[in-house]
Chains A and B, each alone.
Chain A
């Protein structure tokens, strides 16, 4: 796979740290079902994510991970508490956020390239520059030869990679990813993990990354947030102080194993299934 040049953002990178990117303050979400029942899906949950951090989130199915990401994206109303992005309480979607949903959500009447360009269109960015950027991103996700294909001509994993390219095309400084690699085969997944890690290191983006895979969470994250079963609360928050330079060998190391075991045992004690 070809490497895309990633523009560094004019914000402190992971090393600089310090400034708060996302802060959750006693965040709670209660769903109201059709028959009037109230389901507490999330929280109360407080968390501080520093600018340039990579936070992986794991937790049993239905514990509220997608709910949390949608709250961070400003896509729905919270029940109580606050979400602050760069110290400002949000009420609605923010400009500077890229989102990868749990399913690809491509527009079937647009080619792969046009799907990637959608954010640039909506945001009114310079199309020539965005087009070059989209080319790079499609090459990065291994779809250089699929520009003109329509979603129904792509496999599920290919569609998801288009969605990942789409989330990056407008260079958002915060990236929210909901199990983006769930539909990929093991090999592609490893490659995508390496690419994502590289993008993060080169650009200094803040990334919140939901996954079902504990090794993936440890490999990618600076911290791993383990959520309890519904309503999702913080069961554990693990600082992953592995070296910043990580490759596939990292996964074989003892330290890596220790982190994985710790999270897995936390997971088990919470009654979650892997």
Chain B
């Protein structure tokens, strides 16, 4: 770096260590990422209008709480540990269900993609099951496995299973023919081709499936709790709804979406770490 030619890019890089006043730097950042301003701005506007409308029309709190009511409900129930206790319950159900679905989906998907006959035999049944709304069979599982955690784990697993299965099969199918030919030219066994080439090649698609599945697993757990349970955020929402504690319901919803976002981000992190070689994650890493 001994050359003295200073490009605009180099100047911008140099300004990083405080050559320009901070305000100018901040303005540059906002020009590049106006969403950093717009996203919080939208939040403030929506919350402000919501609060104003509720106050102005004097809407009763049990019908539609104002943001401030929700905020205080949230602080209150987080402080007492209510949301956390039930949230952890739901989270455990969803994660356990997700894990079962991932193991089953990847295993069965691999078998199906590997053996034509298995696929042809199972295909019509899989389609039949997939087109059935899985939540419709939730009451059966409550009947069979009771109000405890097991039934919810199973429902979460079933709901999360299909997006994984479908993506595993599609991913394993779409392996670049040339990579397979390379392995064949070395007289690799079917098993070697599978674990050395097909499975890693399919990982980006499998991860896309897992990404959907983890959100589905929360959905499955909540639906299961609605149908029959003695704990969990779904159970809490029903109770609060019954008691006309609408602000509490909204608070629980906030907790649920926080859970969803956290899981999504964690999955994304793992994906970036694991699939750094895939083109798409290479672009986002820059």
Contacts and interface: CB of A to CB of B under 8 A. Distances in A.
Contacts of A70: 181
B196 A152 contact: no
Interface of A: 70, 73-75, 92-95, 97, 99, 101, 103, 105, 107-109, 118-119, 121-123, 150-152, 170
A93 B181 CA distance: 10
Query: Interface of chain A, helix or strand or loop or mixed?
Result: loop
Interface string B171-198: 0000010110111111110001000110
B283 to A, nearest CB: 10
Interface of B: 176, 178-179, 181-188, 192, 196-197, 200, 203, 276-279, 282
Given A74-B185, A99-B185, A123-B186, 6 more contacts: A101-B181, A101-B182, A105-B176, A109-B200, A122-B186, A122-B192
22 contacts: A75-B181, A75-B185, A95-B187, A99-B182, A101-B181, A101-B182, A103-B178, A105-B176, A105-B179, A105-B182, A107-B196, A109-B203, A109-B277, A118-B182, A118-B196, A122-B183, A122-B187, A122-B192, A123-B186, A150-B277, A151-B277, A152-B279
Contact of A107 (B184, B185, B188, B197): B197
B183 to A, nearest CB: 7
Contact of B196 (A75, A92, A93, A122): A122
Contacts of B279: 152
B192 to A, nearest CB: 6
Contacts of A123: 186-187
A105 B97 CA distance: 38
A181 B102 CA distance: 44
A170 to B, nearest CB: 8
Which 4 A-B pairs have CB atoms at the shortest separation, nearest pair first? Answer: A108-B277, A122-B186, A99-B185, A109-B277
A254 B205 CA distance: 58
Contacts of B276: 150
A176 B192 CA distance: 23
Contact of A152 (B178, B192, B203, B277): B277
A101 B177 CA distance: 12
Contacts of B186: 93, 118-119, 122-123, 170
B192 A108 contact: no
Nearest to B274: A109
Nearest to B278: A108
A93 B184 contact: yes
A159 to B, nearest CB: 13
A107 B187 CA distance: 17
Contacts of A118: 182, 186, 196
B193 to A, nearest CB: 9
Contact of A121 (B187, B196, B277, B278): B196
Contact of A93 (B179, B185, B200, B277): B185
Contacts of B197: 107
A101 B188 CA distance: 17
Contacts of B277: 108-109, 150-152
A101 B184 contact: no
A208 B282 CA distance: 37
B118 to A, nearest CB: 24
Nearest to B178: A105
B179 A97 contact: no
Nearest to B186: A122
Contact of A122 (B179, B181, B188, B282): B188
B177 to A, nearest CB: 10
A101 B186 CA distance: 13
Contacts of B185: 73-75, 93, 97, 99
Nearest to B200: A109
A74 B187 CA distance: 10
A213 to B, nearest CB: 23
B197 to A, nearest CB: 7
A131 to B, nearest CB: 17
Contacts of A94: 187
Contacts of A107: 179, 196-197, 200
Contacts of A170: 186
Nearest to B189: A122
A263 to B, nearest CB: 29
Nearest to A151: B277
Nearest to B185: A99
A101 B196 contact: no
Nearest to B183: A122
A122 B186 CA distance: 7
A123 B183 CA distance: 10
Nearest to B182: A105
A70 B182 CA distance: 11
Nearest to A76: B181
B206 to A, nearest CB: 13
Contacts of B179: 105, 107
A101 B179 CA distance: 10
A122 B203 CA distance: 21
A95 B187 CA distance: 7
B266 to A, nearest CB: 21
A94 B185 CA distance: 7
